[in-house]
Amino acid sequence: MAPSLLRKVQVWLLKAVAGVFLLLCRLFAPRKPALAGKKLPPAEDPLLLLSATQLAKKIRRKEVCPRSAAGLLPLRFNRFAAALQEAAQVDKLIEEETGGEEVLEDRLPLLGVPLSVKESFALQGMPHTSGLVSRRGVVATVDAPPVALLKRAGAIPVGVTNTSELCMWCESHNRLNGITNNPYDLERIAGGSSGGEGSILGAAGAVIGIGSDIGGSIRMPSFFNGIFGHKTTPNVVSSENQYPPTSGRQNEYISTGPMCRYAEDLLPMLKIMAGPNVHMLSLNTKVDLKKLKFFTIPHDGGSPLTYPVSKELMDIQRKVVERLELDLGIKVQEVRFPELQYSFQIWNTYMGLSDKDGKPPMPFSSLMGEPGRPAWPLWELLKWMVGKSEHTMAAIGLGLAEMTRSSKPLTFITEKKEKLQKEVDELLGTDAVILYPSHTRVAPKHHHPLFRPFDFSYTGIFNILALPVTQCPLGLGEEGLPLGVQVVGGKLQDHLTLAVALYLEKTFGGWRDPGAN
């Protein structure tokens, strides 16, 4: 049989098995009537509807008491008492500043703004487990650098939020802290791995948050929960003091960035989070959208591993193109890169490569286990079947998939990646952006990604290409769930995608209150 036909048959069989398994699960899984079709009540407190930029201004002007702002977040792992004490200090700082509001804004731009933090980031005194049962009781003793920088800018961390197990799945579910729901429909996923951040921000329970992304972990939760999220050009914002740490070539693909409901908060947050590396970006450069080149790619070109992009997501991306052409008087050019069909294989290959010194990445099964005692995925699978594993099916699946990864990368795949990198870098240069679907569909029901595990490669490919991407909400679709698009820029051209995010928010309305629809 020809290799391509063999591959097609394999993929078809895989999809058929997944389909039958999903059907059986649907037939036999107990229904949770308490969640069916439920969403959150509307956000009634007007403080919940302010951006961090507006809230900080009101706090500086003493129009809002920082203590009422710090008490907003309904977090399970919170530090409310400490946060209220810190909020009480804010008044003192305002009184003591003799230079006036502008000096205060310059020195402490986020003074008094509550901040939620993905639990995989070290936040002193808070759980730092990444959803691993064996890390139960681990508490951070320091602050991860971007957390420390946001604190130094006056933000008040109020608590930490849930992730997928070891931050390596597109649903935030683990055996330690449980499962995170989507505020637009509690039966659906909040995404992962920064799903707790996505959910609480989408629900208007937090003002700003912080996420990390090596395959879409900022962008998928931002998309599913209808908020903005920015995957920064890698190695601008520090990714130190996160668990699990990255290793091997993964250090080049991990990215830390802001998540928030309002586009105007992305840029000031990024300026702060970049710390000493802020000079690498051009965040003070004014962007004239009329002078930008816009490209659109409707899908990955028909990978047999991913499902087709849904009609509503294709339609909304087309609407974005139409509005851009109308409003800016420009032509948005549709482009295709056949190599995008191999997005998953490229991501999977490069995630397994050694770093420049030849050091390979830490195996996922070692991360799942305890120091010096890697987990045995097959054994965990057997235990899972009888309800005795401490791991989720996704983590066990990833451990099993890792066993099939060849130690030497396929030249065929590395050639595809190099070609794609060259073509995309040339197209983007320093004055262009690409619109690309965020995912193949809106937020799926809980656990459904297990049956479509490769769809995340719509986000994952841009980690390997090391490009900045802003995830932008575009209103709600047929089922009342958030729609959106990824805006991709050239390396270090983060200011361009952030400027497009502001335009899209103005044109398409940005975040919608899940309770109001």
For position 352 contacting ligand ELD by CB under 6 A, the verdict is no
User: What is d(CA 456, CA 199) in angstroms, rounded to the nearest whole number?
Assistant: 18
Task: Name every residue whose Cβ is closer than 8 Å to that of residue 149 and which is 6 or more positions away in sequence.
Answer: 272, 273, 275
Is 217 labeled as catalytic in the residue annotation?
yes
**Cα–Cα distance measured from residue 6 to residue 380, given in angstroms and rounded to the nearest whole number:** 30
Specify the pairing of strand 181-182 against strand 178-179: unpaired
CA 48 – CA 35 distance, rounded (Å): 24
Q: Which is nearer to ligand ELD, 253 or 262 (CB)?
A: 253
The CA distance from 516 to 513, in Å, is 5
Residue closer to ligand ELD by CB (options 103, 403) is 403
Kindly tell me which of 40 and 367 has the beta carbon lying closer to ligand ELD: 367
Distance CA 129, CA 242 (A): 10
| Interface with ligand ELD (CB under 6 A), residue from 213, 339, 455, 513 | 213
Give the amino acid at 468.
P
214 contacts ligand ELD (rule: CB under 6 A): yes
Question: At its nearest, how many Å lie between ligand ELD and the CB of residue 119?
Answer: 13
Distances (CA, A) of 332 to 50, 57, 317, 503: 33, 37, 11, 15
CA 114 to chain CA centroid, Å, is 20
CB of 217 to ligand ELD, least distance (A): 3
Please report whether residue 367 would count as binding ligand ELD according to CB under 6 A: no
170 binds ligand ELD (CB under 6 A): yes
Interface with ligand ELD, residue 169, by CB under 6 A: yes
Annotated active-site residue 388? The verdict is: no
Minimum CB distance to ligand ELD, residue 171 (Å): 9
Nearest approach in angstroms of CB 429 to ligand ELD is 27
Nearest alpha-carbon partner for 127 in 156, 160, 154: 160
Give the SS3 label for residue 294: strand
Which residues partner with 433 through β-bridges?
294, 489
Annotated catalytic residue within 51, 172, 193, 199: 193
Task: Report the residue from 66, 127, 195, 215 that binds ligand ELD according to the rule CB under 6 A.
Answer: 215
ω into 473 cis (within 30 of 0): no
Helix segments in 360-510, DSSP class H: 364-368, 377-385, 393-403, 411-428, 457-464, 494-508
Using CB positions, name the residue nearest to ligand ELD. Answer: 397
- The window from 96-104, 210-218, 306-314, 430-438 that contacts ligand ELD (CB under 6 A) reads 210-218
In the residue annotation, 343 being an active-site residue is answered as: no
Q: CB of residue 4 vs ligand ELD: minimum separation in angstroms? A: 21
**How far is 163 from 5, CA to CA, in rounded Å?**
38
Residue 165 near ligand ELD by CB under 6 A = no
Of the listed pieces 310-318, 404-412, 413-421, 449-457, which binds ligand ELD according to CB under 6 A? 449-457
Window 392-431: residues binding ligand ELD (CB under 6 A): 393-394, 397-398, 401
**Annotated catalytic residue: which of 118, 151, 416, 417?**
118
| Cβ distance to ligand ELD smaller for residue 187 or 455 | 455
Nearer CB in complex with ligand ELD: 51/163: 163
Q: Which amino acid is at 119?
A: E
**Residue from 399, 453, 468, 484 in contact with ligand ELD (CB under 6 A):** 453
Of 153, 450, 472, 474, the residue at the interface with ligand ELD (CB under 6 A) is: 450
**Among the listed residues 146, 216, 229, 352, the single contact to ligand ELD using CB under 6 A:** 216
Q: Which stretch binds ligand ELD (CB under 6 A): 199-207, 215-223, 258-266, 327-335?
A: 215-223
Q: Is 276 helix (H, G, I), strand (E, B) or coil?
A: helix
| Helix-strand-coil split of the chain, %, nearest 5 | 45, 15, 40
Residues facing 231 on adjacent strands: 469
Q: From CA 62, how far away is CA 56, in angstroms rounded? A: 10
Task: Specify the 3-state DSSP secondary structure of 446.
Answer: coil
> Looking at 9-17, 207-215, 244-252, 381-389, which segment touches ligand ELD (CB under 6 A)?
207-215
168 binds ligand ELD (CB under 6 A): yes
* Shortest spacing between CB 372 and ligand ELD, in angstroms: 25
Q: Is 277 exposed, middle or buried (0-12, 13-18, 19+ CB in 10 A)?
A: middle
Please tell me whether residue 221 binds ligand ELD under the rule CB under 6 A. no
Using CB under 6 A as the criterion, what x/- string covers residues 455-474 for binding ligand ELD?
A: -x------------------
Contacts of ligand ELD in 183-202 (CB under 6 A): 193
Task: Return d(Cα 131, Cα 152) in angstroms, integer.
Answer: 28
Q: Give the β-pairing of 432-436 and 208-213.
A: unpaired
| Binding footprint of ligand ELD, residue count (CB under 6 A) | 18
Residue of 269, 207, 208, 229 whose CA lies nearest to 49: 207
Which residues of the shown chain bind ligand ELD in the complex (CB under 6 A)?
Answer: 167-170, 193, 213-217, 393-394, 397-398, 401, 450, 453, 456
Give the active site residues. 118, 193, 217
